[in-house]
Every structure is written in C-alpha cells, then in structure tokens.
Structure 1
Amino acid sequence: MVASRPGSHKSKELALRLLSALVLIPFALFVVATGGLVLAIACAIFAAIMGYEWARMTASPIMPATAVLAAACVFAAYFGDWSVSFIALLVSAGLIFLIHPSRINDRAVAAFGVFYSAGLPLGLFFLREGTWYGQAAALILMGTVWASDTGAYFAGRGFGGPPLAPKDSPSKTWSGAIGAMICSGLCGLIAAGLLDASRVSWLFAGFAISIVAQWGDLFESSLKRRYGVKDTSGFLPGHGGVMDRVDGLGMAAVFCAGTMALVAPLHGLLGLQAS
C-alpha cells in the first residue's frame, strides 16, 4: 500500500474549500440582497446549526433545545424588533441554564451558547434590515470580511513571521493580520467611491471591521483549543462547521449593527443614510 502524500491531501482540501465557496458565496449574496423573510429563514437555519455545533463542541446533553431556541431568537427579530429578540435571547439562555442537568459552570457555558449561536446571525440580520441603507451595508461588510480573510491568508503564507496568538492559534501571524487590515482598508476606500462618502471614515471602518473579524476568529480558536476539537462539525466540506466559517463575519456584523444603531451620524459619513 502506498501512503498518500501530504501535498495531495492539502490539494484535495483546497479543492473542497473552493467548491464550497463557489456554492456558498452566491447563496450568501442572494440571501442578503433579498433580505426580509428569506434572510430571516437563512439566519435561523445558521443559528440552529451553530447551536448544534456549540452543544457538540462543549458536549452539552441538551443539543436539540439549544438549536431550536437559537433559531427561535432569529424569528423573534423578524416578527418583532431588536427588543423582542433581546428578550427572547435572555429567556432562551435562562431556559437552557435551568434545564441543563450539570454543574453551574456547564450551565453557564450552555446558556452563553445560545447568545453566541443566535447573536452572530442576528447581527447580520439587523445590519441588513436597519433604518439605514442596509443592503449596501451588509454586502460591503461581507466583501470586507472576505477580503480580510484573503489578505490574512496570502500575507501570512508569503511573509510568515511571529504568531499573532501562539497559544490559541499558532498558524496566524502578525504579517497576516497586517495584510488583512490592508485589504479591508482598500475595500473601505472602494466602498467610499461607490457611495460617494468620506474616504477617511470608510478607511477606518475597513480597519475596524478587520480587527473585529480577526478577534472573532481568534475567540473561536481559543474555544476549540479549550475543548480539544479541530472543527465544530463537518457541515461545510473543506471548511469544517458553520461556526468555523462565520465566526469573524458574525462578530463584525454584531459590531457594525451595534455601531450603526448607536452612532447615527455615521449613516451620513458612510453614505448609508436611508433616503
């Protein structure tokens, strides 16, 4: 028997990643561009899968309840508003804490899992459905995060250097982080040109999105290292789980939706003021 070479395994994994991306990117763009109920259903599905993955990663015995409640929080946002969804999050986390049959620490982890699993898709939903020009905001966010990921990958491979977080994610480097910010900043400048908005504001918005997205990625890496798992599931061939793919995007969406909601002058500076 001839053992498979490491290079062939990496090539196969890269091919799977590219194939998944060819399916997922058009789907994500269509869902976000459409918005409304289509977006709510997609976000609810992703929340349910992430709830399942969280329970799987943390070995929680109440996997179905976590998945169902995470999805329900998204629908609460669609049929109500942000306050209704926040109440739904609190109630769902409280229910998980009460019905979890283990220690206090495990209950708290399970309850936080609802916030995490539902909160990331909710960030994208509220950014898209906000009182500002949500379609443009959400699509630009997605492009900026994807550019950040791409810049991090190629800069990290090309330049190497010291690791960004040696304990939690030794493969990520400072050169990759800088490359990610440069690509995100360029996306910000492109967005400024398309929207005829402040270049300085969009440049810093691109930097901020990249930093938050990278932090989201590192946060999940630390969780997976703590629980001793490589991937949260195998739902996405070549990528692992849904949480593995949307951690950075979800954190950035929460950050952007919250910032847009709290800092109204940004709507005009970024050219996202609703007409």
Structure 2
Amino acid sequence: MFVANLCVFSMALALERPCPPLGAIKTKARAHSQRLIDDRNTTKYTVHGLFGIFARGDLRAETGRRHYINYEDTKVDFMHRHACQLGHRMRAPTVCEVGFNAGLSALLLLESLPHARVLSFDLGDAAWARAADALLRKQYGAARFPGVVFGDAVRRIPAHAAAHPFQCDVVFVDGDKSYAGRYGTLTALWQVSRANTAVFMDEVTTEACVNGTHVPESSAHERQCAGRNRNYWPSVRAYTRACHEGWLRVQQCAWPSRHPYDGICLGTFTNG
C-alpha cells in the first residue's frame, strides 16, 4: 500500500514539475544559432532567428546590419508558456513539427517539454537545415529527437507514420507557405493526431481571419484579410478552411507589436 501511494505521489510531482525557465532556453537557442553562424560558409546561416520565431533584429554576420524582423520574443514566450501548461498534463508527449528550419522551434519544444519526443519534418531547402539537424540529434539523443524527416511533409508524414507508427499530442505548423501546401500539411497532421491535440499555428494575420469567421474563398474573407499580409494570405486561407470544416478550432493568439499581422495562435484538432 505504501509503495502504491509513493508511486502516485511521484507521478503527481512529475506532472506538477516547474516550467523550465525561458531565459536558459533562450541562451541555449543563441548558442545553437552561433554554431551555425560560425560555420556560415557552409551553412549560409547569418543571423539568430533567421526565418523563424526567435527573430530578434540581431546584426547579420555578413553585413553588420540588423535583421528586419524582430518578434520581441512574443512568439517564443507564447509557445513556451502554453507548452509548459500542456506538459503539466502530459507524461511523455509526441510533438510533431513541420518547418524545422534551423531547429530553434524544435529546441524550444524539447526544452519546454522535457519528457517529450519531437518529430520534425522539413523540405530541406535551406542550406543550414541538415547541420542544425545534426546538432540537435547530438544534443538530445535519438530517443527525444530522432532526426528530421526531410521531404514534402504532405507525403512524408503519412509515409513515416506507416513505417514508424506515432500519434501527435502537440503540433507546430509552419513550413510550406502555399495554400495547397499549408492545407495539405494541416490535413496530414490531423490524420496522425489524437483528438484535442494542441496546435500551434504560425503566420496568422488576425484571429478573425483564421478562425472560420469568414466563409473560405468568399469575397468578404479576401476583402478583410488578404491585404493584412500578402505573404501569409495562403496560410490564412488554409487555417480558415480547416476551421470552417470543423476539425480545427482556434483558442487564443498573440502578435508582436512590430509585426501586428504576423502572429501565432494556439488551437486544437477536433474529430471534425
């Protein structure tokens, strides 16, 4: 009886463990970026947070000029806070990420969810992606980070699930910027996710533009949303369609003050 109670108590403590401090995670992220920057002749990676959520307006190594994107840690803080909350009720979650890029979002999820396994998918078109993959595999080991699955995520996700069965508990959607690619990515992830899987969605203009308020492909949706950020209009259309079809639900969002139409949201996959 004593042993059983001790086990229950230990499990309760594990689920109530404190959230890993974000400051230490940011330090690790910068160190990771610096390794890629130091090898920039090969990696072509020149500034911390390049094309990713960690962008902080740092000086570019090749020009000495500041990178034009500064998210002021808004997206990083949002993901860390919510990932930690999710971690309190998950024992060993599987996180599925599309859009590995330089590995900083994967690092954030690995650190924020210390008992998670992170499965990353990436097209592999950036010169630094494979170097970043090698760094994280060495740092976290195959059990927690088995390595990036390179290729078109729409095809690679179902193929990987067939060869190595898995179900996603947490999802981060970035990657393909086209409408067909983003919608296909969402669909592929939904099909390998549990009901009520948490979904982080990057490249959101406004909440109303993505949460199904507008009918997909309607003139009202385009009129209200297309001009907010043309680069992300395809992603916005994909999110709206999934929400309107009933299998994605947006819960809350955050936007950097310097980039008011380039935000991040948290939602859930439903049974449709």
Q: Given the two structures, how large is their TM-score scaled by the length of structure 1?
A: 0.29
Higher relative contact order, structure no. (Cα contacts within 8 Å, ≥ 6 residues apart): 1
Structure 2 length as normaliser, TM-score? 0.29
* Structure richer in helix, relative to its length: 1
Higher-strand-fraction structure: 2
